[in-house]
Structure 1
Amino acid sequence: MSITAPTQATVPTAATGRRLIRDLDEAAFAAHYGCDRYTATVLGNRFDYLVEHMSARLLTGAFSPVLRDFYDLACTIAGPPELGYPVPAASNGIVLMAGTTIDAVPTMVQEFGVGRLNPGDVLIANDPYRTGNHNNDLVFTRPVFVDGTLVAFVTLNAHQLDMGGTVPGGFSATKQNVFENGLVLSPRLLVQGGVNVPETWNVIFDNVRMAEVLYPDMLTVCSSLELGERLVQESIERYGLQAFHGSMRYATDAAAERMALGMAELPDGDWEAEHGVDCDGVDDTESYPVHVAIRKRGDRIEVDFSGTHRQARSSINATVWEVKTAIGVALKYNFDPRGRFNSGLFRNIDIVIPEGTVVSALPPDGAVFLYFEQSQVILATVLIALEKALGERAIAGDRAGTNLHTAFGAHPDGTPWVSAMQCGGEIGPFGANRHGDADTQCMSYLANGVAPSVEAIEKESPVVMLRHEPVPDTAGPGFHRGGNAMLRDTLWLTDAAHSIIELRHKSVTGFGVHGGGHGVNGGVWIFPPGEGGDAVVPGTDSEAFGRGVPWAGVIDPASNTPSPDGEYIYPFSGANTSVRQSVLRYITNGAGGWGDPLEREPERVLRDVRDEYVTIEGAARLYGVVVSGDPHEDPEGLVLETAATAALRERLRAVKP
């Protein structure tokens, strides 16, 4: 299978020796786009406003914590079929969902039939093989008509708290086919002519848990689509349909041109890399490497996935739509980090994907749910492959896994509760690049959510947040330091079944680049209550880990601490059911550094010791910097030992490979 983006551009680029968009005079621009530059620019910004306004409507009205707190949604606007469904703008939600939504809309419309759509309709689907992502990500698209003509689509791809299946909330690596995965909806009308379609609503709510959350959220999604429709119609009324569609083409052409110019700067060449997850949800006898071969010629790049491992036996697979999105994001980070994310991004990228691999799974046995894990593998593999070609522009690896955690149980009155993506390692570090040190309190390179508030978590689930802090000496050292691993301890007040998503511990995920060091991998532990049944709150020193039971990671069997020489703990071996008053500990992987750590200014290392990103011992070992004092009791009294630092760095450089 190969994916080649449609070529809507008629304005050639400098990479081919022809004119750029900016080289068009006013008459040529107006002839090509049906409006002047000023109008195209205004409408381009209005597209951004439109999708963000729709997103804000949902975020402020959502009941689900996954939507309200995690921003697990994406909103797009697309042109009509005769223009090739151009997408000039996507919201600042989960980029994984924004990318797949670009292709989901034409797939849904073509299967349902564009001639069957009418004003006031809302079309939905959630089949991963049709729309990308997973069953919980329900795509809602509303056709927009003006004077009886279909002129656009406004779309929200919004995560639903539950869509049926064997596990509440759906987050599990152990589901082995599409029948266990949850409710599958082919393209169908949710709303027809402004009236709800009872058959569609009923089939959803006959199969899902927590309907009291899904129902109002779906109503809010429909309201957001109505808002988007109104904004589109107002824009066309003010600027005209020709200018509206011309501005769509301009926004996507400009994005394609920026990417082509960026890729043209990279010397032609061929590069390969392989990277993957540790296991699937069946056992740990297989790992699943993803192989990429990148071929760059002129202003085009081909990414070939031949040699990638067969599809997994459980729901850790992804589809071709996630491949396309992850490749686009990885290349955009490198070649056009400041431009818009829209459908023009993919125009100069060709992708070759064999069918039936872990990133191109087929039903019914190639179940897709944890697609985001494979998406991160794809992005990381591209970054690894391009490191030498990019030189100082290379980007270090982040913590790679999502480290998602789900717990579920019942309140004393029997009503169910679910804590989804709130109390695990969802927040973690980025890798460093040439611009500076990396952030520690982030999600991943392919997500753009935020950490939910502690108060909201504790109000809705029987849990107490005990600790949320960086772990010293876990960041990849470098001239620019990677982000530190994050530690989170939660105390569960009642019995709870826990589902953990840990697939990236056997190998380094936070890889360093341009001479930078690797980050340190983490793990998951459960600390049972003491002999009297009361909770035992563990410390963070190495001895404290001995009282815990490892649930995931590569762990030293003697100390229970993470160790690259330890034993691998398979994360899906049991039901992972904790008892009352247990403490769950997550430590994410640390992220990679950029540049030679021995060149990092000693003053910056001193600041890291003061802020407890680096210990005094770590400063000497990782950076060759000697610091004296007590960072805990007197952080501002730390002293940089200049002479000792110079001598230590000289010794370390002498033995450096």
Structure 2
Amino acid sequence: MTQPLNPVELEIARNRLESIAEEVGLALIKTSYSPNIKDRRDCSAGLYTPDGTLISQAEHIPLHLGVMPEFIRTVLNEYGVDNLVDGDVLITNNPYLRGSHLPDACVITPIFVDERLVAVVANMAHHVDVGGIAPGSMATYATEIFQEGIRIPPVKLYSAGELQRELLNVLMTNVRTADKTRGDLMAQVAANRLGERRVEELVQEWGAEYFIRACEELADYAERRTRTALESLPDGSGEFTDHLEHNGVGEERLEIHVAVTKSGDRLTVDFSKTDLAGAGAVNCSAAVTQACVAYVVKLIADATLPSNAGLMRPITVRTRPGTLVDAQFPDPVSNGNIQTAQRIVDTLLGAFHQIAPDLVPAASSGSMSIMTIGGRDFRTGRYFSYVETYGGGQGAMPGQDGAHAIHTHMTNTRNTPCEVIEQEYPLRVGEYAVADRTGGAGEYTGGDGLIRTLTLVGGEAVVIAGTARTDQGPWGLNGGADGAKASVEYIRRFGEQDEATELQEAMSRGALASGDAVRIQTAGGGGYGAPRQADN
């Protein structure tokens, strides 16, 4: 009988495999073309078994990382691993295969050693345009998936090492920024090739049987760790409802409801009472919902839990198809990641506060707060697409103030440097600052939001802005005050001195002329605990 790996061997295997995923992600960042990947790092990478079981991930975007295990497994099952040969590379962005949204293209490379499929390396990257009715492919007002861009089923981008040029031409014909998109896709392919080499080297060193056994035992190890972490939490149940204030098309209250039950080393999370899908692009796949659950479990129970297939084994997640948190064809989904995922996290935290109140922070800014500005660059005549999400105030927590102007929860990107924005796009950065005193007061103060103003310096452009918490600031806890609300404004220029300000809804679309600006202020985080009395 084969002896199981001892703790030292497990730790060595975990670090070796995680380092491969990290190297794949870093290679993608270093070789990509668009600022959204090379500067903002809106991408993620991981290793999987041949049937799609997650082995290891890089510490990138929590939403990507949580979605990819379900996505990869579903895609491999849909395509059939028996149809893969050495040198193949699959590509897909289909959200109805338990993906995220169309800009998140996933590139999947099978790894063969001595003609045996031993693993799969995959990465996901957010592309700055994949077609659709608006530059940036993030139209909040889309009412069906066909308006959001080109949807790619699992197909071979490379077949036995040969680039499928006709397929690539079809894809590039349907996007506005073909040069950036093509470059980013090739960077994804190249990054996976690096991961393929690293796994081959590891298998040559360890042998195939030891490699496969290490992958299986790492998942079992993560399961044991997760069960232990759950056992450390009090048993109990909690229910909570939070809401979006906008459905993407217009103002409408859409409620997310969750019931959480923790018993021993098991956790059940039920979203069945959540509202039906919204009219606009605020819906998200069930895989996104599961990703939020995985994130919150690590946040509450143990942040050091290994991120592999074992993490979710003790956890049951229930959703109702056709709802805001379980989109079905042809529900639009582009902003489900941006808005709804963050609200799912807030809802989960509200429920967990009833079970383990000393471990839960106040609500953070509640949105990834996206801005897309696109059109033809008056300087070159070519299409441009500026896409960026913005940080906000972090919710305060027991013993700690919230951080200012930071990406929280399901996002982990960087902000695009001002110099890069002004070099790449016909935009000028005006104000870029922390929104002082927007965090909720409390014994521990919520973090402040941020402000960014962008001016179109020439030509015309379409702007789509999406944020949240414009009707009510992020909630405080245990007597802490709510954070300040978010806002989006257009600033119209009339001559040298005159201007007019137009306040927008939480999600809006509009047009900018030369000299016009758009200003976003993200929400502050909620405070924690009753404010201390001022000293006399």
TM-score (norm 1): 0.78
Deviation at 1:238, TM superposition (A): 0.8
Does 1:52 find its partner at 2:22?
yes
Q: Matches of 1:110 and 1:455 in 2, distance apart?
A: 44
Greater relative contact order: 1 or 2 (C-alpha under 8 angstroms, separation 6 or more)?
A: 2
CA distance in 2, matches of 1:267, 1:52: 35
Tell whether the 8 Å contact from 1:39 to 1:243 is kept in structure 2 after alignment. no
**Structure number with larger C-alpha Rg:** 1
Of 137, 142, 162, the match for 2:109:
142
Look up the match of 2:292: 326
Q: Which structure's residues are more often strand, by fraction?
A: 2
Residue 434 of structure 1 deviates from its aligned partner by 2.3
Secondary structure of 1:249's counterpart equals: helix
**C-alpha separation between the residues in 2 aligned to 1:129 and 1:336?**
31
SS in 2 for 1:451: coil
Matches for 1:419-434 after TM superposition, within 5 Å: 419-421=386-388, 426-434=390-398
1:174–1:596: structure 2 CA closer, same or farther, 3 Å change rule? Answer: same
Alignment of 1:144-163 (within 5 A): 144-163=111-130
* Per-residue deviation, 1:596: 2.8
2:505 corresponds to which letter in structure 1? A
Letter in 2 for 1:323: T
Q: Tell me if structure 1 keeps the 8 A contact 2:305–2:311.
A: no
Residue 54 of structure 1 deviates from its aligned partner by 0.8
Match for 2:173 among 206, 215, 231? 206
From 229, 232, 235, the counterpart of 1:268: 235
- Is the 1:40–1:243 Cα contact (8 Å) retained in structure 2? no
Q: Does 1:363 align with 2:353?
A: no
Counterpart of 1:566 in structure 2 is none
| d(CA) in 2 for partners of 1:313, 1:363 | 13
Q: Is the 8 A contact 1:270 1:293 kept in 2?
A: yes
Matched AA of 1:60: K
Q: What is the Cα-based RMSD across aligned positions, in Å? A: 1.8
Deviation (angstroms), 1:449 = 0.9
1:348 to 2:314 alignment: yes
Residues 160-217 of structure 1: CA deviation (Å, up to 9, x unaligned): 2211111121111111112112111111111111111233212212211211111122
Pick aligned residue for 1:127 from 90, 94, 110: 94
Name the CA distance, whole Å, in 1 between partners of 2:393 and 2:177: 32
Post-superposition offset of 1:447: 1.1
1:79 aligned to which of 28, 36, 49:
49
Aligned-pair distance for 1:414?
2.0
**Is the 8 Å Cα contact of residues 92 and 448 (structure 1) preserved in structure 2?**
no
Match of 1:375 in 2: 341
**How do 1:420-499 and structure 2 match up within 5 A?**
420-421=387-388, 426-494=390-458, 495-499=460-464
| Residue in 2 that maps onto 1:585 | 519
Could you tell me how far 1:146 is from its partner in structure 2?
1.2
CA distance in 1, matches of 2:436, 2:45: 38
Residue 3 of structure 2 is matched in structure 1 by 31
> Secondary structure of 1:103's match?
helix
What aligned pairs does 1:614-629 form with structure 2 within 5 A after superposition?
Answer: 624-625=533-534
1:408 partner letter: G
Show structure 2 runs of 5+ residues with no match: none
Q: Does the 8 Å contact 1:78/1:154 carry over to 2?
A: yes
SS of the residue 1:123 aligns to: strand
Amino acid at match of 1:52: E
Amino acid at match of 1:432: A
Distance 2:497 2:308 in 1: 53
In 2: Cα distance, 1:145 partner to 1:391 partner: 48
Instruction: Give the partner amino acid of 1:552.
Output: E
State which drifts further: 248-257 or 113-122. Answer: 248-257
1:491 deviates by 2.4
In structure 2, the residue matched to 1:42 is 12
State the secondary structure of the residue aligned to 1:474. Answer: coil
1:305 is aligned, of 268, 271, 286, to 271
Correspondence for 2:260:
294
Cα distance in 1 between the residues matched to 2:130 and 2:455 = 28
Of residues 368, 383, 403, the one that matches 1:416 is: 383
3-state SS of 1:59 partner: helix
Instruction: Map 1:545-624 to 2 at 5 A.
Output: 548-552=501-505, 571-572=507-508, 575-598=509-532, 624=533
Q: Distance in 1 between matches of 2:134 and 2:41?
A: 22
1:227 to 164, 169, 194: 194
Q: CA deviation at 1:144?
A: 0.7
- Distance in 1, matches of 2:395 and 2:222, equals 25
Quick one: distance in 1 between partners of 2:323 and 2:398?
34
Name the SS for the 1:467 alignment partner.
strand
Task: Give the drift of 1:535.
Answer: 7.5
Looking at structure 2, the residues matched to 580 and 208 of structure 1 have their Cα atoms a distance apart, in angstroms, of 24
Could you give the per-residue CA deviations for residues 587-630 of structure 1, whole angstroms, max 9, x where no partner exists?
111101222321xxxxxxxxxxxxxxxxxxxxxxxxx43xxxxx
CA distance in 1, matches of 2:491, 2:154: 46
1:250 shift after superposition: 2.9
Whole-angstrom CA distance in 2 between matches of 1:409 and 1:160 = 16
Deviation at residue 417 of structure 1 after TM alignment: 1.6
Partners of 2:368 and 2:230 in 1: CA distance? 29
Q: Secondary structure at the match of 1:290?
A: strand
Q: Retained in 2: the 8 A contact 1:273–1:293?
A: yes
Matched, 1:249 2:183: no
Shift of 1:489: 2.1
CA distance in structure 2 between the partners assigned to 1:107 and 1:535 by the alignment:
56
Q: Contact conserved, 2:234 with 2:356, CA < 8 A, in 1?
A: no
| Contact 2:136/2:373, CA 8 A, preserved across alignment | no
Kept after mapping to 2: 8 A contact 1:86/1:249? no
Structure with the larger helix share: 1
Separation in structure 2 between the aligned mates of residue 418 and residue 77 of structure 1, nearest angstrom:
31
**Residue 306 of structure 2 aligns to a residue in which SS?**
coil
Seq. identity, %: 26
Tell me whether 1:101 sits opposite 2:68 in the alignment.
yes
How far apart in 1 are the matches of 2:249 and 2:413?
30
